[in-house]
Amino acid sequence: MGASLSRRTEGTNRTEMTPGLGDIPEGCLACVFMNLTPPEICNLARLNRAFRGAASSDSIWVKKLPTNYQDLLNLLPPERYQNMSKKDIFALLSRPVPFDDGYKEVWLDRVTGRVCMAISAKGMAITGIDDRRYWNRVATEESRFHIVAYLLQIWWFEVDGVVKFPLPADVYTLSFRIHLGRFSKRLGRRVSSFEHTHGWDIKPVRFELSTTDGQLASCECYLDDMEQDYENRNHKRGCWIEYKVGEFIVSNSETATEVRFSMKQIDCTHSKGGLCVDSVFIIPTDLIDCKRRGILK
């Protein structure tokens, strides 16, 4: 279909003076593009010169960028974005932008232009993390930060973190990404070991978040379920699970929002182990819902 449209728009048959897509004024195309997503605009830009010109207009792409896109650019060296068009800035910010020594990343969702964030395990305070009797750092391609914290065994389990950033006005969901068991590759296949996995079915882990303007959220969850494990090959083991901590609202994007979060199981009557802590995600809530329903990819 795209090829046939392209031929019509370029007017290969000059004897027929019928208008084609190439005759649509760029101003009209720009009005249409305002209501399309960035991937849709880029696809249409391949049709002909008129579409390409309209699809490169700064007036279109500045509407696709969040109001605080300059805050994201400020995390990069100025030479990375100087003299860039708004379209190229959108493409640049759609890739992860690291900050705080590379332990945190912020980026734009490619479809909606909404701001998303991730915090590495190395960017959090983990009780006993420097004692190799309790924790190990494990390099892996399964983490966007290429390293996770693996718990061998501990009695006092606590992971705390904080992030301060001028997030745009929106409703956000904060979640922890964790994995029961240690994973590796053997003969090209992914395998999981649960040698150290214990204690997570005895007491729940408590997740909490708080913001500087007084918003609070918390929940408790058993990370392991031995009854389900025996009957149904417990789906909680051997795969990454994102545990939702809660939601918070940003109404003022002029000032930086500080969010504190934690997961803990500090009942010292039993030990626990065999857990990988990867990262924390802060994602617009309805963006998560749309992706779960398959509306966004």
Could you tell me the pLDDT band of residue 200, with boundaries at 50, 70 and 90? very high
Instruction: Sort 51 into a burial class: Cβ within 10 Å, 0-12 / 13-18 / 19+.
Output: buried
The backbone torsions φ and ψ at residue 248, rounded to the nearest 5 degrees and listed phi first, read -145, 155
Choose the weakest-confidence range: 18-32, 145-159, 270-284.
Answer: 18-32
Interval 31-86: pLDDT, tens: 677 778 888 888 877 777 767 777 778 888 899 999 999 999 999 999 999 999 99
Contact 96, 144 (CB under 8 A): yes
Residue ranges of the alpha helices (H) in the chain?
Answer: 2-10, 26-33, 38-44, 49-55, 58-64, 69-73, 86-93, 226-232, 285-292
Could you give all domains of the chain from N- to C-terminal order, each with its CATH number?
26-95 (no CATH), 98-293 (2.60.120.260)
Alpha carbon dihedral 155, 158, 159, 160, in 10-degree steps, equals -160
- Give the chain's mean pLDDT: 86
Choose the weakest-confidence range: 97-101, 167-171, 250-254.
Answer: 250-254
Interval 216-231: pLDDT, tens: 999 999 999 765 544 4
Largest CA distance in the chain: 88
Sign of the torsion angle spanned by Cα atoms 62, 63, 64, 70: positive
Interval 77-123: pLDDT, tens: 999 999 999 999 999 999 999 999 999 999 999 999 999 999 999 99
Contact 122, 147 (CB under 8 A): yes
Contact 68, 115 (CB under 8 A): yes
* CA–CA dist 151, 136 (Å, integer): 7
pLDDT of residue 12: 47
Q: Give the residue-averaged pLDDT of 118-131.
A: 97
pLDDT at 297 over 90: no
Using a pLDDT cut of 70, give the percent of the chain over it: 84
pLDDT at 19 over 80: no
Q: Give the residue-averaged pLDDT of 148-171.
A: 96
pLDDT of residue 5: 44
Alpha carbon dihedral 122, 125, 130, 136, in 10-degree steps, equals -50
State the pairing for strand pair 125-126/97-99: unpaired
**How big is the chain by its Cα radius of gyration, in Å?**
24
